[in-house]
Amino acid sequence: MAVEKQRLTVWGRIDWLIHQAFSNQESRLFSTVSNLVIMVIFFSIGSIVFESVTSLHDKYERFFKVSEYVAVAIFVVEYLGMVYVTRPIRKYTLGVWGIIDFLAIAPSLIQVLDLRQLKVARILRVLRFLRLMRILKLAKKVSDNYEDIKEQKYGTLKMDLQIYFITMFSVLIISSTLIFYAENAVPGTKFTNIPESMWWGIVTMTTVGYGDMSPETIAGRIVAGITSLCGLCLFAMLMNVVGKALMQGLFGHEDDESGADDGDAVMAGRGLMSVSERMDELVSLREQELVTPDEFEAKRRELVEHI
């Protein structure tokens, strides 16, 4: 009886630790686990990118294999932990993030098995690309905290910038990897590895188009077209972030609900500009379409009240 009670106590302790690590976002253990996973994600993505360089792969093949196994082991533990703490289980396993987490570890788990009898090298290449789904886990880590920060009296500018740069980094890595797999078999190709392809990714995302590297296959051109569109979306996203930063700098916190009662305090605290200068700046923002008509009218009325 005492032994059984002790077992229950031990299991209860383990159960508590698992929930603290994977579900209680306010716990120190949850923060530690999240930071560890983020570091492993960056390390794993870097390993995948540099492994595509033939000279590095041949020289450090054992290191790349060991680092992959370590990363997969950590991701498997995280996946099982999330399955354990989520009820119902299908809410996680069949959800977007659960599927992404599974796709991030599935290729490496399959490679552990003996797949030589399948004789499908092309499928294995696709599976290796799916390892890059881990990069989307970064977006998950940021989005988990975004709503909490937005509900508090803190600006979301820092989080907006994090989301923007993570999105840009994700598009760059994924597009560079896709173009590498699409073009590396073409004779005389310049897409010899992922780092080389990243130069093409940067040029295409910024719509500069130097022309020194261009895809020749249909798949490569499809990737190029999608990458260009993503670059335009990223530019629009950046303008939104910049516009929000300017609005916060001019008129205070975006989530300030105290209204006109403390408008004088906000204006006094930012008294480096006159009302007319603020009005000119507001008109400039409207002309650049960085604020909506409703936002423009609301801020204009607020400024008029302080004349």
Higher pLDDT, 119 or 210: 210
Note the pLDDT tens digit of each residue in 8-39.
577 888 888 898 888 887 888 988 988 898 88
> Over 90: is that where the pLDDT of 199 sits?
yes
Residues 174-185: what's their mean pLDDT? 90
Report how far residue 295's alpha carbon sits from residue 307's, in angstroms, rounded to the nearest whole number: 19
DSSP string, 104-126: HHHHHHHHHS--TTT--HHHHHH
pLDDT digit string (tens) for 75-131? 899 999 999 999 888 988 898 888 888 887 877 777 665 554 444 444 555 555 666
Residue owning tokens 């937005």:
150
Q: Is the pLDDT of residue 6 over 70?
A: no
- Select the more confidently predicted residue: 91 or 283: 91
Domain range summary for the chain, segments of one domain joined by +: 1-137, 256-305
The answer to whether the beta carbons of residues 247 and 181 sit under 8 Å apart is no
Whose CA is closest to 241, among 141, 168, 138? 168
pTM: 0.69
Give pLDDT, residue 166: 84
**Is 222's pLDDT higher than 90?**
yes
**Any alpha helices (H) in the chain, and if so which ranges?**
2-22, 28-51, 54-59, 61-85, 90-93, 96-112, 121-130, 135-151, 157-183, 194-205, 218-251, 263-269, 275-287, 293-305
Eight-state DSSP code of residue 214: -
Contacts of 39 (CB under 8 A, 6+ apart): none
In this predicted model, what pLDDT tens digit does every residue of 244-270 receive, in sequence order?
Answer: 777 776 765 544 444 444 444 444 444
The predicted-structure confidence for 122-160, as pLDDT tens digits, reads as follows 455 555 566 666 677 666 666 666 555 555 544 567 777
Residue among 285, 266, 276 at smallest CA distance from 304? 276
Confirm if 173 and 128 have CB atoms less than 8 A apart.
Answer: no
pLDDT digits (tens, 9 = 90+) for 58-69: 999 899 889 888
For 173, half-sphere exposure in the C-beta direction (CA atoms, 13 angstrom radius) is 25
Q: What is the mean pLDDT of the chain?
A: 77
Return d(Cα 64, Cα 72) in angstroms, integer. 12
Do residues 232 and 277 make contact, with C-beta atoms less than 8 angstroms apart? no
Mean per-residue pLDDT, 275-301: 74
Evaluate if residue 217 carries a pLDDT over 70.
yes
Cα 297 to Cα 23, 34, 271, 293, 305: the distances in Å are 43, 42, 21, 6, 12
| Residues 6+ away with beta carbon under 8 Å from 217 | 182, 183, 186
Hey, what's the torsion of the CAs at 241, 134, 189, 218, to 10 degrees?
A: -80
Class in CATH terms, 1-137 = mainly alpha
Of the candidates 222, 223, 215, the one whose C-alpha atom is nearest the C-alpha of residue 185 is: 215
